[in-house]
């Protein structure tokens, strides 16, 4: 079975190499600048792409990355782009989502998306809510205990594409998963306000705190 194509748009060779290594399940192509990225995107062969906003000749600014995102609608309307930007560039991340990026990930050391997270992100039906995407990204960065962001860190179910056949769960496991999903959604809808989330869930604050500990939700 042919691998799904994925385009990495990144001018730093070491970062591009690390991304390629972590996403070896895909047929990877790399574009080191906006011009090459445009050529590859125009082919229509890439359902998913990752984008570093800082591209030459203006690598220190998001100018070229934003220009590329603005052209995406006509250049590659079916490609879903995951933007990767710096720790101190939250405003750029939000703007990137507003310009059509599927998601914006803030760089945190060497934390990268896992293969399962990369598969789950384009499969998710996003409602186009910038605040929701931003909250999920922040929660993923705070929940991630290793060097890979997993689907559960983003509040996403693992994709069948990444997982193969879905693992059979016991009734208790299914209940726990549904409970955790409901709690994460309440937190997302209330901007992580514990009191409002508890009210939305119909439980007390102490009960919600116990459930947060149970599911290791920070």
Tens of pLDDT, residues 14-28: 888 877 877 777 889
Query: What is the enclosing helix (H) or strand (E) of 213?
Result: helix 205-214
Backbone dihedral angles phi then psi of residue 146, each to the nearest 5 degrees: -120, -145
- What pLDDT digit, counting tens, does each position of 75-116 carry? 888 888 888 765 456 677 677 777 777 665 555 454 566 666
The residue range of the domain holding 206 is 171-214
Backbone dihedral angles phi then psi of residue 180, each to the nearest 5 degrees: -65, -40
Name the 3-class secondary structure at 46. Answer: coil
Looking at the structure, tell me whether residues 129 and 158 fall in a common domain: yes
Q: What is the pTM of this model?
A: 0.51
Indicate which CATH number applies to the domain containing 180.
Answer: 1.10.10
Looking at the structure, tell me whether residues 85 and 189 fall in a common domain: no
Looking at the structure, tell me whether residues 34 and 119 fall in a common domain: yes
Among 146, 163, 180, which residue terminates a domain? 163
Backbone dihedral angles phi then psi of residue 207, each to the nearest 5 degrees: -65, -40
Looking at the structure, tell me whether residues 100 and 180 fall in a common domain: no
- Return the higher-pLDDT residue of 188 and 77: 77
Is the pLDDT confidence value at 122 over 60? no
Q: How far apart are CA 135 and CA 162, in angstroms?
A: 24
Looking at the structure, tell me whether residues 157 and 182 fall in a common domain: no
- Number of structural domains in the chain: 2
């Amino acid at each position: 079975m042919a691998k799904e194509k994925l385009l990495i748009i990144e001018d730093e060779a070491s970062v591009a190499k690390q991304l390629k290594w972590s996403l070896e399940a895909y047929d990877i192509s790399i574009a080191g600048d906006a011009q090459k990225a445009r050529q590859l995107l125009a082919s229509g062969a890439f359902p998913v792409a990752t984008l570093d906003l800082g591209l030459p000749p203006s690598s220190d600014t998001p100018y070229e990355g934003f220009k590329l995102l603005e052209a995406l609608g006509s250049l590659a309307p079916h490609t879903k782009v995951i933007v990767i930007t710096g720790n101190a560039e939250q405003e750029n991340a939000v703007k990137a989502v507003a310009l059509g990026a599927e998601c914006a990930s803030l760089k945190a050391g060497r934390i990268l998306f896992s293969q399962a997270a990369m598969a789950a992100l384009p499969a998710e039906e996003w409602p186009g809510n910038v605040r929701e995407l931003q909250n999920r990204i922040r929660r993923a960065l705070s929940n991630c205990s290793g060097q890979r962001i997993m689907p559960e860190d983003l509040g996403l179910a693992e994709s069948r594409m990444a997982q193969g056949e879905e693992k059979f769960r016991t009734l208790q496991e299914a209940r726990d998963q549904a409970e955790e999903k409901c709690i994460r959604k309440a937190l997302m809808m209330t901007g992580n306000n514990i009191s409002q989330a508890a009210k939305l869930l119909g439980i007390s604050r102490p009960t919600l705190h116990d459930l947060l500990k149970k599911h290791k939700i920070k």
